[in-house]
Amino acid sequence: MSLTAPQVPSPAPHPADGLSVWPRSTRPGSTGDLTVAGVSLAETAGRFGTPVYVLDEDEVRERCRTYRSAFPEADVVYAAKAFLCRAMAHWVREEGLGLDVCSAGELMLAVTTGFPPGKIVLHGNAKSPEDLDAAVRLGVGRIVLDSASEIARLAAIVPHGSRQRVMLRVVPGVAAGGHAKVRTGTDDQKFGLSVTDGSARHAVARVLGQSRLELVGLHCHIGSQITTVKPYVAAVRRMVGLLARIREQHGVELPQLNLGGGHGIAYRPGEESLDVRRLATRVRAELRDGCAELKLAVPRLTIEPGRAVVGPAGVCVYRVLAVKRTGPHTFVAVDGGMSDNPRPALYGVRYAPRLIGRHSTAAPHLVTVVGRHCEAGDVLAEKVPLPGDVRPGDLLAVPVAGAYHLSMASGYNLVGRPPVVAVKDGTARTLVRRESLDDLNRRDIGL
């Protein structure tokens, strides 16, 4: 069954429509509905139920191509933690990107989909024995070591006569990111080895002393939701300095440098996003000039976008269950919440939900959109304008829902996680089915 667009396509949305943060294929309809990739969101909700994640395949692919075009000489590695399913791994592979995984689970899904293990990078501040065993057995391209204890543990499981390529994650001392909980470039958080206290240099010496490990480069990740280029330039400068010190101390020039990701996107109209092409230009220049000054060979660059690839391609559609007015406050409760989007509760992310499926002439009022879960912090969007006649049964669509929604979803209140539906050329298809009550019950085997 296909959900198709009208025969005469609507014009591209104007910024005044409030659709600047929606997938580029989004078009308004005369009845208050929206279409994405030619598919009606209201019809999608009717066919697949709510909540439902809708993912624009062409938008994902176009964003992959933007990165490949901006960084033609670099390895672009998609950060699977943002969102991963078999189709996503397939799209990323077809567009020429590598894959960054953080667990044996993500790794196995990718490999069984046909993703080349040599183009996979394994991350994690505390990798389990199962994570490391799977990575070595399947032959991942690079493992990023995050602590001194991982060095000997990994070397012990690499088969005799083999060498596993590794990188060291270091903390460059650059603070960046949209919230304190996503700033990872300084010493006051759990990731990486410190340059300041000498941990990074000590780890370099230890890895170089392991015959079964091949140190191919350094890695850093300074934070998430970064919308300016300056912190990345500062990180490049410090990492190049460390590469030079490693050469001086060990006589080794490491051939790779991984700058991580964290590229910011706009969640609401008017917010800024990181200019990928400007980032590429500035990083390339700083890397070239810094290496020339220190007489280093320019290392091959790796970047790891996740949110910036898939976030803006996704929309989540909910159905209103209740509208409650308490004093000056109006609460609009929907049939999802923190179990399918914990980000507002975790670090205060703000969204711009929109009424779809019917046209309203009522004046907008500020409301708080809340979820159905038994938690006061189950708030999806605070003080957002919605038509004053919003009522149970209405549909609300939330843009920029492609990243860190399903991947961070939980089983709170045993509600079940929503499905993911891909849309392309007027057709919708299920990528990930809805988690049913039967799915939840089957896991509970004790009495």
| pLDDT for 176 beyond 80 | no
Read off the pLDDT of each residue in 399-426 and give the average, rounded to a whole number: 96
Task: Express each pLDDT in 29-63 by its tens digit.
Answer: 879 999 999 999 999 999 999 999 999 999 999 99
Boundary residue ending a domain (260, 277, 310): 310
Among the options 85, 220, 316, 374, which is catalytic?
374
Position 212 confidence tier, pLDDT thresholds 50, 70, 90: very high
Crossing angle between the packed helical segments 230-250 and 276-293, to the nearest 10 degrees: 30
In a domain, residue 107? The reply is yes
- Whole-number Cα distances in Å, 10 to 21, 56, 96, 226: 18, 17, 32, 34
Q: What is the mean pLDDT of the chain?
A: 92
- Check whether residue 89 and residue 164 sit in a common domain: yes
Same domain assignment for residues 122 and 21:
no
Is the same domain home to 333 and 273?
no
Question: 371-400 burial string, b = 16+ CB within 10 Å, else e?
Answer: bbbeeeebbbbeebebbeebeeebbbbbbb
Total tally of structural domains belonging to the chain: 2
Q: Residue 191 and residue 305: Cα distance in Å, rounded?
A: 18
Q: How far apart are CA 401 and CA 413, in angstroms?
A: 22
What per-residue confidence (pLDDT) applies to 183?
A: 43
Nearest-angstrom CA–CA distance, 343 and 225: 13
Residue 117 CA neighbour count, 13 Å, CB half: 15
Query: Is 103 a domain residue?
Result: yes
Of 178, 144, 146, 113, the residue nearest 311 (C-alpha)? 178
Residues of the chain with pLDDT > 70: what percent?
93
Hey, CA dihedral for 371, 441, 405, 387, is it positive or negative?
negative
9 located within any domain: no
Spatial distance between the Cα atoms of 143 and 205, rounded to a whole number of angstroms: 17
Range of the domain at 260: 57-310
* Tens-place pLDDT, residues 254-288: 999 999 999 999 999 999 999 999 999 999 999 99
Q: 320 and 306: one domain?
A: no
With a CB cutoff of 8 Å and minimum separation 6, the contacts of 445 are none
Query: What integer is the mean pLDDT of 396-405?
Result: 97
Most distant CA pair in the chain, distance: 73
pLDDT at 352: 96
Report the 10 Å Cβ neighbour count for 74.
Answer: 20
pLDDT at residue 179 is higher than 70: no
Does residue 228 sit in the same domain as residue 319?
Answer: no
Give the tens place of pLDDT for each residue, 354-389.
Answer: 999 999 999 999 999 999 999 999 999 999 999 999
Q: How far apart are CA 210 and CA 412, in angstroms?
A: 45
Confidence grade of residue 185 (pLDDT, cut at 50, 70, 90): very low
In this structure, are residues 47 and 410 in contact, taking their beta carbons and an 8 Å threshold?
A: no
Same domain, 37 and 161: no
| 3-class DSSP assignment, residue 77 | strand
- The structure tokens listed for 426 are 């007027």
Q: What is the pLDDT of residue 358?
A: 96
189 and 52, same domain (yes or no): no
Residue 14: the pLDDT is 52
H helices of 114-229, in order, are 129-138, 148-157, 199-208
| Domain match, 50 and 153 both | no
Distance in angstroms (rounded) separating the CA atoms of residues 111 and 28: 39
152: pLDDT confidence band, cut at 50, 70 and 90? very high
Instruction: Count the alpha carbons within 13 Å of 313 in the hemisphere toward its beta carbon.
Output: 24
Q: Is the pLDDT of residue 6 over 70?
A: no
Whose structure tokens read 């912090």?
377
Question: Does residue 7 register a pLDDT over 60?
Answer: no
For residue 180, pLDDT beyond 60:
no
374: annotated active-site residue: yes
Structural domain ending residue among the three candidates 254, 275, 310: 310
Q: Is 173 inside any structural domain? A: yes
CB 339 within 8 A of CB 379: no
How many other CB atoms are there within 10 angstroms of residue 119's CB atom? Answer: 18
pLDDT of amino acid 194: 84
Number of neighbouring beta carbons within 10 Å of residue 63: 24
Q: What is the CATH number of the domain that holds 375?
A: 2.40.37.10
Whether pTM > 0.85 for this model: the answer is yes
146 and 290 share one domain: yes
Alpha carbon separation from 171 to 24, 99, 291 (Å, rounded): 36, 22, 20
d(CA 443, CA 356): 36
Q: Which positions ≥6 away from 14 have C-beta within 8 Å?
A: none
Q: Is the pLDDT of residue 9 over 50?
A: no
The pLDDT score that the predictor gives to residue 340 is: 96
215 part of a folded domain: yes
Helix (H, G, I), strand (E, B) or coil at 400: coil
Q: Say yes or no: 318 and 302 in one domain.
A: no
- Give CA–CA dist 297/259, Å, rounded: 17
Domain end: 295, 310, 325, which one?
310
Give the separation between CA 445 and CA 161, rounded to whole angstroms: 44
Q: Which residues of 276-292 are buried (b: 16+ CB within 10 A; e: fewer)?
A: beebbebbbebbeebbe
Choose the weakest-confidence range: 59-73, 132-146, 168-182, 350-364: 168-182
The answer to the question of residue 5 being in a domain is no
In a 13 Å sphere around the CA of 176, the CA atoms on its Cβ side amount to 27
The CATH number that applies at residue 231 is 3.20.20.10
Average pLDDT for residues 222-229, to the nearest whole number?
91
pLDDT band at residue 15 under the 50/70/90 scheme? low
The mean pLDDT value for 94-103 works out to: 98
Task: For residue 182, name the pLDDT band (cuts at 50, 70, 90).
Answer: very low
Same domain flag for 301 and 324: no
For 409, the 3-state DSSP assignment is: coil
Is residue 382 in some structural domain? yes
Q: How far, in Å, CA of 40 to CA of 54, rounded?
A: 10
335 inside domain: yes
Within this chain, do residues 213 and 257 fall inside the same structural domain, yes or no? yes
Q: Nearest CA to 334 among 68, 45, 70, 15?
A: 45
Which two tokens mark 389? 């006649």
198/74 Cα distance (integer angstroms): 29
